[in-house]
Structure 1
């Protein structure tokens, strides 16, 4: 069963302002983009489970010309808040790498 790291050539995360986090998944070609960009395993439930995100506030933005999908969710607390552990969200993508897309 392939995982995100098996079908993507690059995965990154970053802040999208003080109230949102965004993930960019660059698939390694058009076939994997078509097969996995809207896979249920990458749905709102995953972001709720991994990041505590409100499933109603998870957004998917496919970019077919780049074979990538941007997935954003509202932060559970604002950037720079007392409980902030990764102000720029640069390390958050690691949790996605082993997600199975079976």
Structure 2
């Protein structure tokens, strides 16, 4: 059975700067069922994001917005926007590991 990713359940998965020192990623889920999966704290939580992005778990903020079927995740940028080591000045590619995250099988 093929694996399903968050991207397949979402209308859109995107990332962007939230100022020069933070990244925000947004999961716009297609429907309530997709949102239920993405918002499940046993599946998508600070520990998972910390491992995916190699950031401190305590710095991650997750906002679950059921009325919009949206999950929003913010954490400090690894380097400040526009600094010499910044490889993605708009943080437009940070969402890729999140989008590729495999969801647990539906039981």
Fold match (TM-score > 0.5): yes
Once the two structures are TM-superposed, the CA of residue 63 in structure 1 deviates from its matched residue by 1.5
Judge which range, 46-55 or 62-71, deviates more. 46-55
TM-score with structure 2 length normalisation? 0.84
Counterpart for residue 35 of structure 1: 37
Counterpart for residue 16 of structure 1: 18
Q: How many residues align?
A: 102
TM-score with structure 1 length normalisation? 0.88
Judge which range, 14-23 or 88-97, deviates more. 88-97
Residues of 1 paired with 2:82 and 2:42: CA distance? 31
CA RMSD of aligned residues (A): 1.5
Instruction: Decide whether the 8 Å contact of 2:25 with 2:72 is kept in 1.
Output: yes
Give the structure with the larger helix fraction.
1
Give ranges in structure 2 of 5+ residues lacking alignment: none
